[in-house]
Amino acid sequence: MKRQWTWIGSLVLICGVASAADEQRRDPREMIDRLAARSFSQRIAAENALYESGHRILPYLESGLTHPNPEVRLRVETLIQRVSRSQLGETITDFLAPGSQTTLPGWDLVAEVTGDRPETRQVYGELLRGDTDLSAALSQPDQIEAELRRRVMLPGMPRLRDARGVSALSLLILLTHPEAEHPDDVARSAYYLLRQLVNQNATTPEDTMKLTLVAYWVTQPAPNLAQDRFELANRLGLPEAIHPAMELIDNPRRQFQIHEPFAVIAHYGGSEEMAALEKLLTDTTELSASRGENDAIKSTTQLRDLALAALIEMTKQDPETYGLKPFRRDPSGQIRNMSVAFDSEEARNKAFAQWKTWSTKNLKKFLAPPNEAAEGFSI
């Protein structure tokens, strides 16, 4: 009896294989129509045959999305996902093979920024393997903005998502894609999430990739996002914070926050930044004033004062010789907030006259052309 059932099972299996093979020889459009066959077995046979046809069947399946039968449309949509996942899985396997020249959607920029190494390939390949929506968006750059918006904003609401469950690396890959332009509200929402998701300690290849992509993002000019880019880079201790810092001092709209960019420029800046600061030494825009008794002005800070203080720090001079208080530093020795004020216009004029005398004799050596900069980012 057992032998009889084995024989019957084998016959069914052979017939099933033959049936699938027969189905694959049919016209793809006919197979798609058979997804609505009255017979359940015929529907399954057609579905299996379409799936086993591989990626060559995708154009036909995509045309099936407009089929008049709703069941066909549903099965076609499922098939597209299955075939795409299978194709992507094979491509990722090739991508991860030693010495592979295979690429993946979006990989070229990521490789250019983070380096094409086995560990970065592994992180990227596994990311796309587990996130087919990301892969699909990167394959169609016109969909990237919508995909980023979906990830950072709550559906139908201006409020941003909770950071839990959000992949920082996915956000950064979408945010930095060269073919995508993101509205300020989407990019700013991504920034708020990244501020929660990315930390300064790079203990894994993925952490390093995230920090490197942040460093790349903050160097891309975007005046409306200069403050956001600066705050993120500065919080992470990235020297690339100097790029948005320079944008901020060129247009100090949010004046109460302008002290920190000057501190970053003083710490990371070189001859190019010194030259830019020199041009600000005539800018008398008043940023703040402290008042004493009877509301009398006790001291004031002008934009040029911050430029002077930054130059004093960059040229390794003592601020006290200019009538300024010592700069406050963190444990690492870096100035976090360039707080400067003059008690009188006379004190200010004296300090600027001293700078003029000193710079005439000494500044030239600080403005010498720098050595060839190393490629890449600070991570």
In a domain? residue 134: yes
**216 and 132 both lie in a single domain:** yes
pLDDT at 212: 94
The Cα 92–Cα 238 span in angstroms is: 32
209: part of which helix (H) or strand (E)?
helix 205-219
Q: Which 3 state secondary structure label does DSSP give 79?
A: helix
**88 and 108 both lie in a single domain:** no
The Cα 303–Cα 317 span in angstroms is: 20
**109 and 61 both lie in a single domain:** no
314: part of which helix (H) or strand (E)?
helix 303-314
The Cα 370–Cα 379 span in angstroms is: 21
**116 and 197 both lie in a single domain:** yes
Question: Both tokens of residue 75?
Answer: 């099965």
**217 and 107 both lie in a single domain:** yes
Last residue of a domain, which of 94, 121, 150?
94
Question: Both tokens of residue 203?
Answer: 């203990």
**300 and 212 both lie in a single domain:** no
Last residue of a domain, which of 53, 71, 94?
94
**214 and 300 both lie in a single domain:** no
Per-residue tens of pLDDT for the chain, all 379 residues: 444 444 444 444 444 444 444 545 567 888 777 787 888 888 888 877 776 776 677 777 778 788 888 888 888 787 777 766 667 778 888 899 998 898 999 999 899 999 999 999 999 999 998 888 898 899 888 889 999 988 887 655 444 555 566 789 999 999 999 888 888 888 888 888 898 889 888 889 999 999 999 999 999 888 788 999 999 999 999 999 999 999 998 875 555 578 899 999 999 999 999 999 999 999 998 887 776 665 556 678 889 999 999 999 999 999 999 999 888 888 888 887 788 888 888 999 999 999 999 999 998 888 766 554 445 666 6
- Look at residues 252, 253, 235 and name the one whose alpha carbon lies nearest to residue 305: 252
In a domain? residue 56: yes
Task: Work out the burial of residue 6: count CB atoms within 10 Å of its CB; fewer than 13 is exposed, 13-18 middle, 19 or more buried.
Answer: exposed
pLDDT at 153: 77
Task: Work out the burial of residue 52: count CB atoms within 10 Å of its CB; fewer than 13 is exposed, 13-18 middle, 19 or more buried.
Answer: middle
In a domain? residue 4: no
Q: Which residue has the tokens 């008042």?
A: 291
- Look at residues 274, 355, 338 and name the one whose alpha carbon lies nearest to residue 301: 338
In a domain? residue 131: yes
Last residue of a domain, which of 94, 116, 142?
94
Q: How far is CA 19 from CA 16, 106, 338, in A?
A: 5, 40, 78
Give me the count of residues in the chain. Answer: 379
Q: Which domain holds residue 41?
A: 19-94
**89 and 113 both lie in a single domain:** no
In a domain? residue 329: yes
**72 and 113 both lie in a single domain:** no
In a domain? residue 113: yes
CA 144, 206, 376, 368 torsion: positive or negative? Answer: positive
**301 and 359 both lie in a single domain:** yes
Task: Please answer whether residues 220 and 245 qualify as being in contact, where contact means their C-beta atoms are separated by less than 8 angstroms.
Answer: no
Q: How far is CA 182 from CA 163, 209, 222, 233, in A?
A: 19, 21, 11, 19
Task: Please answer whether residues 184 and 215 qualify as being in contact, where contact means their C-beta atoms are separated by less than 8 angstroms.
Answer: no
**78 and 126 both lie in a single domain:** no
- Cite the beta strand spans of the chain per DSSP E: 286-291, 297-302
**54 and 74 both lie in a single domain:** yes
The Cα 19–Cα 63 span in angstroms is: 24
Q: What is the DSSP letter of 15?
A: H
Q: How far is CA 166 from CA 17, 169, 198, 216, in A?
A: 43, 9, 11, 20
Task: Please answer whether residues 172 and 166 qualify as being in contact, where contact means their C-beta atoms are separated by less than 8 angstroms.
Answer: no
Task: Please answer whether residues 324 and 340 qualify as being in contact, where contact means their C-beta atoms are separated by less than 8 angstroms.
Answer: yes
Task: Please answer whether residues 347 and 322 qualify as being in contact, where contact means their C-beta atoms are separated by less than 8 angstroms.
Answer: no
**Cα 240 vs. chain centroid, distance in angstroms?**
14
What is the count of structural domains for the chain?
3
- Look at residues 120, 81, 71, 80 and name the one whose alpha carbon lies nearest to residue 100: 120
The vertex-77 CA angle with 75 and 78, nearest 5°, equals 65
